[in-house]
Structure 1
Amino acid sequence: MGQGQKGSSDKEEKKKKKRDESPAPEDSHKCRVCRFPLLVALLQLLLGAAVTVVAFLMLAISPSLMARETPHWAGIILCLVSILGLILYCINYHPDERSSIQFIVKLLYFVLCTIGLVISVLVIAFSGHHYSQTGSFRCQQAGEDCVCRLDQEDPIARTFTYEGVSDCEVITGTLTLYFLLQIVLNLLQAVVCAIGAFIMWKHRYQVFFAGLQIGSSSSQWQNV
């Protein structure tokens, strides 16, 4: 009888020790660049800078281009999101919030990633529309301007005047290529923002911790 109680008590002690064990520390040799949110933030920074540069190159073609045709604002916003992601990485990212500052930064990063996703989709829609439009243009030189129409035979067709353009081939060729490049860049931008928002949501709502808090100076939890 005494041996049975001793055996059961040993099993209970082993279970308790196993339950109180903390998760294994991360491998120190793991690629630091691949850690969230550093990789996502770097991709956002590169894509945001690329979108901004292409937008200003488009604006250099003609100053009469509208803001929706030169989406530099989308690239600038994504650069700001990436900076916030780098700040989040610098304050020791953890799936479970350990401080109010980390919670606020994580919330802002999630919201801005979602906004960046919506903005990228809008830019794709605008750029796709203008890409198909400029591909159908029939342009004529009018002094220092370029006047384009969708249908030259229609006298009441809408005309598009691009100021400061000395060669209409720039509108039908280079500008069309820039619109296509904006579609590709903003598509990648939307994917990266969606990944960042999803990982943030997953870490917040799909990681659970349970166990006993032991010790007065440190906390050990069992990840389940």
Structure 2
Amino acid sequence: MGPKRGPGAGPEHCDEEARTCCGCRFPLLLSLLQLALGIAVTVVGFLMASVSSSLLVRDTPFWAGIIVCLVAYLGLFMLCVSYQVDERTCIQFTMKLLYFLLSALGLTVCVLAAAFVAHHYAQLVQLTCGPGPLGDACHCTMPSAEPLRRTFVYRDVADCSSVTGTLAAFLLTQLVLNLVCSLVCLLACFLMWKHRYQVFYVGTRTCALTAPGGQKV
């Protein structure tokens, strides 16, 4: 039998528990990681769009970063919701459900963006690029013995090295960022599913005050 807490140990114990769990709340670390990765994907996507005006939206997946940032903001907002055991509040259950669904959406979007970027990168490393007739575009062709070879035109490009070098580096960076981001979203979904029927600390913990004599008020 362990020692019993005194009559005034309730609020102090709650404060000590809150200070202990302040840095280890469930959505905090994952949400901060999602936010950092989402911002990185968005910034690199807009930098890719500035290389050439002919790049498609699927080749500059800033949209994937924006969605992941929204998921991260929702996870950080969960910290402001008062914690109740067994999800007794409707808003707590709603926040957890939305965070799970949006994390699943972020996982799907990041995998899709990584697939588009990987396909573009696989094509780009095989292309033979040269300046266009007017000097304001870069014409890239697939290596083939056929006279009618497919040609890819990157407009508003003065130097083809920005396509073969800078754009290729951006594509490879996006591939790595989106794969890592998809793994983080998958981890968030897994932890939410694992702790669905368990109690874990989310948000501001609410503790019942204990009156002198052991009776809760």
1:96–1:204: 8 Å Cα contact kept in structure 2? Answer: no
Asked if the contact 1:123–1:186 (Cα under 8 Å) also holds between the matched residues in 2, the reply is yes
- 2:101 alignment counterpart: 111
* 1:165 alignment partner, one of 149, 157, 179: 157
- Answer whether contact 1:96 1:203 (CA < 8 A) is retained: no
Q: Which residue of 1 aligns with 2:32?
A: 42
Measure how far apart 1:216 and its partner are: 8.8
Structure 1 match to 2:209: none
Aligned pair partner of 1:71 in 52, 57, 61: 61
Q: Does residue 193 in structure 1 map to residue 155 in structure 2?
A: no
Cα distance in 2 for residues equivalent to 1:193 and 1:27: 28
**1:175 matched to which residue of 2?**
167
The Cα offsets for residues 49-79 of structure 1, whole Å up to 9 and x where unpaired, read as 0000000000000011001100000000011
SS at match of 2:72: helix
One-letter amino acid matched to 1:42: L
SS of corresponding position for 2:152: strand
Secondary structure of the structure 2 residue equivalent to 1:121? helix
**Matching residue within 198, 202, 216 for 2:194:** 202
2:136 matches 1:144: yes
Structure with greater Cα Rg: 1
Q: TM-score, normalised by structure 1?
A: 0.78
The equivalences for 1:19-98 within 5 A come to 27-30=17-20, 32-93=22-83, 96-98=86-88
Within 2, Cα distance between the matches of 1:205 and 1:28?
Answer: 22
CA shift in 2, pair 1:201/1:159, >3 Å? same
Does the 8 Å contact 1:52/1:72 carry over to 2?
yes
Deviation at 1:137, TM superposition (A): 1.0
Counterpart CA distance in 1 for 2:85 and 2:125 is: 48
Contact 1:95–1:203 (8 Å) recurs in 2: no
- Aligned-pair identity in percent equals 52
TM-score, with length taken from structure 2: 0.80
Q: Unaligned regions of 5+ residues in structure 2, if any?
A: 5-12, 201-213
Superposed CA offset, 1:141-200 (max 9, x none) = 012000101116432221110000001111111111111101111111011111111111
Structure 1 residue matching 2:162: 3-state secondary structure: helix
Seen in structure 2, the aligned counterparts of structure 1 residues 95 and 186 have a Cα distance that, compared at 3 Å, is: farther
Name the Cα RMSD after superposition: 2.5
C-alpha distance in structure 2 between counterparts of 1:43 and 1:131, whole Å: 26
Aligned length: 192
Per the alignment, residue 4 of structure 1 pairs with: none
| Counterpart secondary structure, 1:155 | coil
Distance in 1, matches of 2:192 and 2:176, equals 25
